[in-house]
Amino acid sequence: MNKMSKKVAGFTLAGAVAISSMGLAANKEDVQAKDRKKEPTNVIMMVMDGTSAGATTLSRWYKGENLAINEMVAGGVRTHSAESAITDSAPAATALATGNKSNDKFVGVLPAVVNSPGVKPVSAKDAHKPVANVLEGANKGKRRVSFQHPKSSMRHQPAFLLM
């Protein structure tokens, strides 16, 4: 190999190494970005007052295909009260907004009577103790909160979130 060919080969090899190392560095950043846990920037809570899993299942069977809501629903809440499988709006709203069961006719407080299967008993000193709801927790965590509802149909369960 002559002197000129060796220089060209050397520069070519050096350039190839430099370019490939840039590619590896770029890939390293992508891998690191994928390993990081992303915190959600927005949480949307849809309250379908009066709509049960059974009603949506029946609708899906009748239609013969998935509903548009199937793309959106990520979870559900069992809204029965601490004392009954059939509940009214107050304890259902408490379950939705706080994650705690309550008694019929009570909203935003822990239950005094617990006899529903799977519901943990509450001590007598904690009976009727107020519990924070989702919006209060978000505000305490310095999160912005927005509440949307159709003006013509303000129902009990979504209204509890505003208390």
Domain housing 3: 1-38
Q: How far is CA 88 from CA 31, 68, 79, 156, in A?
A: 50, 28, 9, 10
86 and 135 part of one domain: yes
70: in domain:
no
65: in domain:
no
**What span, in angstroms and rounded, lies between the C-alpha atoms of 113 and 122?**
8
Range of weakest confidence among 6-10, 87-91, 111-115, 132-136:
6-10
68: in domain:
no
64: in domain:
no
83 and 156 part of one domain: yes
125: in domain:
yes
**What span, in angstroms and rounded, lies between the C-alpha atoms of 122 and 114?**
7
81 and 151 part of one domain: yes
60: in domain:
no
Length of the chain: 163
82 and 145 part of one domain: yes
Strand partners, 130: 109
Contacting residues for 18 by C-beta, under 8 A, at least 6 apart: none
27 and 97 part of one domain: no
22: in domain:
yes
Neighbours of 110 (CB within 10 A): 21
Contacting residues for 95 by C-beta, under 8 A, at least 6 apart: 77, 78, 79, 80, 81, 101, 102
86 and 155 part of one domain: yes
Question: What is the tens place of the pLDDT at every residue in 109-137?
Answer: 999 999 988 899 999 999 999 999 888 88
User: Which pLDDT band holds residue 13 (cuts at 50, 70, 90)?
Assistant: low
Q: How many domains does the chain have?
A: 2
Helices (H), 48-150: 53-63, 89-98, 134-140
SS3 59: helix
59: in domain:
no
pLDDT at residue 24, as a whole number: 47
pTM of the model: 0.58
Percent of the chain with pLDDT over 90: 19
